[in-house]
Amino acid sequence: MAEMESLHQKRYWVFDLDGTLTCPVHDFEHIRRELGLLPGADILATLAQLAEPQRSQRYAQLDDLERYYAHRAAPATGLLPLFEWLHGRNCSFGILTRNTREFALLSLQAIGVASYFDPAFVIGRDEAEPKPDPGGLQHLLGAWGIEPGCALMVGDFRYDLEAGRNAGMMTVHVDSRDGRDWPELTDLRVRDLGELHALLCRTVPPAEPLPA
């Protein structure tokens, strides 16, 4: 499979956080109700359009809600074996999230993988325009000094995949739910991180023969 061959060549892995590395616990409709937003509204885009002082007040409310969820984060299925496998192959890790860096780091600590991340490579909404804008990914590519073809974006929502596509990177969609298919944005789809880890283990390229 061409996608798997390409996957094994990547040494720079960027992940979405909520719902990708963590079990989906965010009740986004509850968050919208608490913030006085319409059902289905893009939370960050809507808040950005508010006038002051309402905008700052709503962002402060959002911070409180995100802090609540960050402390309750639980690791997604297959997370730790996947990270151990990638770390053993000297891969680098980054995060691109619509949360703040502060709460992303809290979540990473809660799910037991904070040690894999340099905080400078955890990009939140204060460091870059929110996904699907590719700015955060482009920032990481520049910090690592690599071309887009050396990295991939892993996420559970179309914003993650759009950001990856917009940055010229390979995309992996992690989701088992029906009605959440974006094949035009997806290079590889897996049910969960455990399936991704299993695919990597089953398709490890053969070692090159030793010189005679």
Model confidence pLDDT, tens digit, residues 94-137: 999 999 999 999 999 999 999 999 999 999 999 999 999 999 99
Beta-bridged to residue 122, according to DSSP, are: 95
Question: Are the CB atoms for 12 and 94 separated by under 8 Å?
Answer: yes
Asked if residue 153 and residue 58 are part of one domain, the reply reads no
Do the domain assignments include residue 212?
Answer: no
Confidence bin at 25 (pLDDT 50/70/90): low
pLDDT at 205 over 60: no
Instruction: Give residue 67's pLDDT.
Output: 82
Do the domain assignments include residue 87?
Answer: yes
Residue predicted with more confidence, 73 or 90:
90
Average pLDDT of the chain is 89
Instruction: Give residue 171's pLDDT.
Output: 98
Based on the structure, what is the number of domains in the chain? 2
Question: Are the CB atoms for 146 and 12 separated by under 8 Å?
Answer: yes
Asked if residue 84 and residue 126 are part of one domain, the reply reads yes
Packing angle of the helix pair 54-71, 28-35 (nearest 10 deg): 150
Do the domain assignments include residue 207?
Answer: no
Asked if residue 128 and residue 67 are part of one domain, the reply reads no
Asked if residue 98 and residue 13 are part of one domain, the reply reads yes
Domain span at residue 182?
Answer: 2-23+74-202
pTM for the complete prediction? 0.84
Residue predicted with more confidence, 105 or 36:
105
Asked if residue 62 and residue 106 are part of one domain, the reply reads no
Phi, psi dihedral angles at 80 (to 5 degrees): -65, -45
DSSP 120: G
Beta-bridged to residue 189, according to DSSP, are: 173
The CATH number linked to 93 is 3.40.50.1000
Asked if residue 186 and residue 82 are part of one domain, the reply reads yes
Asked if residue 7 and residue 52 are part of one domain, the reply reads no
Do the domain assignments include residue 112?
Answer: yes
DSSP 206: P
Asked if residue 103 and residue 51 are part of one domain, the reply reads no
Do the domain assignments include residue 97?
Answer: yes
- Cis check for the bond before 53: say yes or no (omega within 30 of 0): yes
Instruction: Give residue 209's pLDDT.
Output: 45
Which sign, positive or negative, has the C-alpha torsion 53, 59, 60, 62? Answer: positive
Residue predicted with more confidence, 165 or 206:
165
Do the domain assignments include residue 211?
Answer: no
Residue predicted with more confidence, 44 or 136:
136
Instruction: Give residue 206's pLDDT.
Output: 46
Decide: helix, strand or coil at residue 192. coil
Interstrand relation of 170-174 and 151-155 (parallel, antiparallel or unpaired): parallel
What are 186-195's pLDDT values in tens digits? 999 999 999 9
Asked if residue 93 and residue 60 are part of one domain, the reply reads no
Percent of the chain with pLDDT over 90: 63
Do the domain assignments include residue 106?
Answer: yes
Asked if residue 124 and residue 63 are part of one domain, the reply reads no
Residue predicted with more confidence, 5 or 161:
161
Confidence bin at 204 (pLDDT 50/70/90): low
Question: Are the CB atoms for 61 and 34 separated by under 8 Å?
Answer: yes
